[in-house]
Amino acid sequence: MPLEVYVVTPEREVWSGSAEMLIARGLEGELGILGGHAPMMVQLAVGPLRIQPAGEADEVRAVVDGGFLHVTSEGGETRADVLATGAELAGEIDVEGARRRLEELGRASDTEDEALKTEITKATARVNLGS
């Protein structure tokens, strides 16, 4: 059963196409979406996104900076919209830039500053995906 996936940010469409599977990280953990999935909406965490395009061996990998995953299913067709605050495909990630950003921010995981924690999480996700 086909699954149409659209990964978009306010600035651009990052990826779209037919897929066999989508794996995303919600606030409560990872979830997988296949064709025929029940309708749902999940708030996304900063983290990896994996798409297995239909008929292709290699998966598409990206990192999203939060947002929402909205799944609809009508007439046997399933659509998954990843509405991300920000997103980059693995090949677009400047890993060295993300490493420098981590150094600038410091690895202060015990900080009370939520904005700083979020920036550290974003940079770490990019380094992990791009490495």
Pairing assessment for the beta strands 29-34 and 87-89 based on DSSP bridges: unpaired
Give residue 131's pLDDT. 63
Give residue 119's pLDDT. 81
Give residue 111's pLDDT. 60
Class of residue 62 by CB neighbours under 10 A (exposed 0-12, middle 13-18, buried 19+): buried
The token duo for 102 is 């981590």
CA atoms within a 13 Å half-sphere pointing along the CA-CB vector of 80: 32
Mind listing the pLDDT tens digit of every residue in the chain (131 residues)? Answer: 789 999 999 999 999 999 999 999 999 999 999 999 999 999 999 999 999 999 999 999 999 999 999 999 988 899 999 999 999 999 998 888 888 888 887 755 556 778 778 888 888 888 887 66
Give residue 125's pLDDT. 85
Q: Are 23 and 31 in contact (CB under 8 A)?
A: yes
SS3 per residue for the chain:
CCEEEEEECCCCEEEEEEEEEEEEEECCEEEEEECCCCCEEEEEEEEEEEEEECCCCCCEEEEEEEEEEEEEEECCEEEEEEEECCEEEHHHCCHHHHHHHHHHHCCCCCCCCHHHHHHHHHHHHHHHHHC
